[in-house]
Amino acid sequence: MTTEQIPAIEVRHLTVSYGERPALLDVSVTIEPDQLVGVIGPNGSGKSTLIKAILGFVRPDVGEVLIAGQNVDRAKGLVAYVPQRGAVDWDFPITVREVALMGRYQQVPWYRSLRKIDREAALEALDMVRMSDFAERQIGQLSGGQQQRVFLARALAQGADILLLDEPFAGVDAATERAILEVLERAKSAGKTLVVVHHDLTTAAEYFDKLILLKQRLYAYGPPRAVLQEELLSQVYEGRLRVFADLTTGKGA
């Protein structure tokens, strides 16, 4: 990163609690532009809370988040979000094309209809995730991997510089996982910064440029070979993790 570049995301001494239960404790991390970053840690470690704090969905007890140097509230259009599949009502009567178009609503004032350029952006995003042929299909008629790609298209159609994804590989087969990864790589090549909650340590080194290792506190942030260390993982997963010998192969190795 050059001295002229502003970090895509700065998390400064972030503490977030739900009632009396702390979800994040004094987390600080700086994510540079044009990176594909994975967020790993055991269940309940604060991964999704970190994403929600970056989005401004939850307010910190202490600390702050800056998006491209701006307060979260002033940077809404710079960030797009792909939720977990379980958070979506797949029975809702909406088509693939209409979901992609939802990504354009932030670009259009409430008093104006969608323009041709908005419809073209939505179709381009569907083409990027290879879902153009399903444009008129109701979202509940899709496979899990197809549904994930449609919501990724919605995020891409928004035109945001930063994409946040909450477990996009969960519940999909290996072929679909590779297809989604290919889309993420293309988005990064187009200048996007991506932060992805991920649960599979066996693929983390291969998929990401850098990793954030969380368990309420930040245990490590850096290239996979620096984060996927047996001693660190044993602390975070409390000995319940089988440590694979080849975890540090792949990106950053």
pLDDT per residue over 74-89, tens digit each? Answer: 887 899 998 876 566 7
User: What integer pLDDT is reported at residue 3 of this predicted model?
Assistant: 42
- CATH number of the structural domain 9-237: 3.40.50.300
Indicate whether 13 pLDDT > 90.
yes
Q: What average pLDDT is seen over the chain? A: 87
Q: Match 């919605």 to its residue by tokens.
A: 154
Is the pLDDT higher at 102 or at 114? Answer: 102
Indicate whether 245 pLDDT > 50.
no
- What average pLDDT does range 206-219 have in this prediction? 97
Looking at residue 105, the DSSP 8-state letter turns out to be G
Chain segment 52-61, per-residue pLDDT in tens: 999 999 999 9
Cα distance between residue 135 and residue 132, in whole Å = 5
Contact 104, 158 (CB under 8 A): yes
For the chain, give every domain's residue range. Answer: 9-237
pLDDT bracket for residue 93 (50, 70, 90):
confident
Lowest-pLDDT range of 110-119, 137-146, 210-219, 229-238:
110-119
39-71 in b/e form (b: 16+ CB < 10 A) is: bbbbeebbbbbbbbbbbbebebeebebbbbeee
pTM for the full model? Answer: 0.87
- What average pLDDT does range 138-159 have in this prediction? 88
Cα distance between residue 47 and residue 40, in whole Å = 7
Distances, alpha carbon 100 to alpha carbons 75, 104, 176, 226, 233, in Å: 21, 8, 19, 37, 38
Residues 6+ apart with CB under 8 A from 201: 40, 228, 233, 241, 244, 247
Phi, psi of 226 (to 5 degrees): -85, -25
